Structure 1
Amino acid sequence: MTANEDQEMELEALRSIYEGDECFKEISSISFQFRIGELEDTKAFILDITWPETYPETAPHISLDAFFNNRISGETKQVILSMLEEQVEANLGTAMMYTLFEWAKENQEALMENHKPVVTAVASSGDGTTAASSAKKREKKEQLTKAQKRRIINRTDHKGELPRGWNWVDVIKHVSENDLLNTNNC
């Protein structure tokens, strides 16, 4: 069998095994992602695996560069990759994707044994609020509903200009209220 035939057979098997599984994602016919662990789990990570042309005779390319993995330290990533490389060497020449995924799921605790989540530094201001939260407060703009936007547009001449005398009712109302107040004081 040629490498391409082996890849096609393994691809069919992966599709049937992981059909409907939210952890498995087929990026292309030679590139896959598999999440080990639940989304909320701090020890969860995503494996990116890409097949070279001569896979399964040559090792697939395994990466932990997904954005999801940013919370994992570099040392932990190296441990995971080195342990997966051992599994790849043991299975070289055979279809190994299912084996790698299942092995990683079974050994998640051992792979993430020394894991300490990477925390991004946030500056703190003197009043106890963080710079990130105060920046979010400043950036937040009032959101208008579609109906409010329509009313604003209907009041303008569609060039952004309000028609002459658009607020004359408010002026008359204001003047009449003030005149009534002044006549009662006399």
Structure 2
Amino acid sequence: MTANEDQEMELEALRSIYEGDECFKEIGPVSFQFRIGDLEDTKAFLMDVTWTETYPETSPQISLDAFFNNRISAETKQLILSKLEEQVEANLGTAMMYTLFEWAKENQEVLMENHKPVTATLISSGDGSSDASTAKKKERKEQLTKAQKRRIINRTDHKGELPRGWNWVDVIKHLSKTGGKDDE
């Protein structure tokens, strides 16, 4: 079989295996993304894999440069890439995408054991008290007076819904301006 036939067969297999899986995303006919871990997991990472023209005889291009991976240190990325390259070398000449993805899922803890999330630091001018005051302003909800609350409660039923026909005055005003069917 030629490389293209092997790629087509593997592509069909990947589509059927990962159909409906939110971790797998087909970017193009030879480009894929696979997320290892849950979205909320700080140890999750996103693999970008692109097949070369001669794949699976040659190794695919694997990248961890996605924005999703910004919180991962460069050392951890290098460790992950080197371990993935070992797996690629072991499976060279065969369809290896499923094997790579599953191996990465099974070994996520080992790959990310030295991971310390990289966080962006905010540079603030001043003593930092302004940051605290803006946070409090965002949390504050609109305050209603007792009279406003009473009016709202009196207009609604026990379910918090307005009763049928509550805006009948507006309907009468509208009809008086537009006229009825008989005025034509």
Instruction: Please report the TM-score for the alignment, with normalisation by the length of structure 1.
Output: 0.69
In the TM superposition, 1:15-94 aligns within 5 A as 15-94=15-94
The C-alpha deviation readout for 1:109-129, integer Å capped at 9, x for no partner, is 000010000011112332424
Distance between the aligned counterparts of 1:130 and 1:123, measured in 2? 11
Matched positions, count: 134
- 1:58–1:92 contact (8 Å) kept in structure 2: yes
Gaps of 5+ in 2: 139-184
The C-alpha deviation readout for 1:142-162, integer Å capped at 9, x for no partner, is xxxxxxxxxxxxxxxxxxxxx
Cross-structure match for 1:121:
121
| 1:81, distance to aligned residue in structure 2 (A) | 0.1
Distance between the aligned counterparts of 2:45 and 2:93, measured in 1? 26
Cross-structure match for 2:154:
none
Cross-structure match for 1:105:
105
Cross-structure match for 1:6:
6
- Indicate the SS of the match to 1:6: helix
| 1:42, distance to aligned residue in structure 2 (A) | 0.1
Instruction: Give the number of the structure whose alpha-carbon radius of gyration is greater.
Output: 1
Q: Which amino acid aligns with 1:102?
A: E
Distance between the aligned counterparts of 2:127 and 2:62, measured in 1? 45
- Indicate the SS of the match to 1:47: strand
- Indicate the SS of the match to 1:71: coil
Instruction: State the 4+ residue runs in structure 1 displaced beyond 3 angstroms.
Output: none
Cross-structure match for 1:158:
none
Identical columns (%): 80
- Tell me the C-alpha RMSD between the 2 structures: 1.6
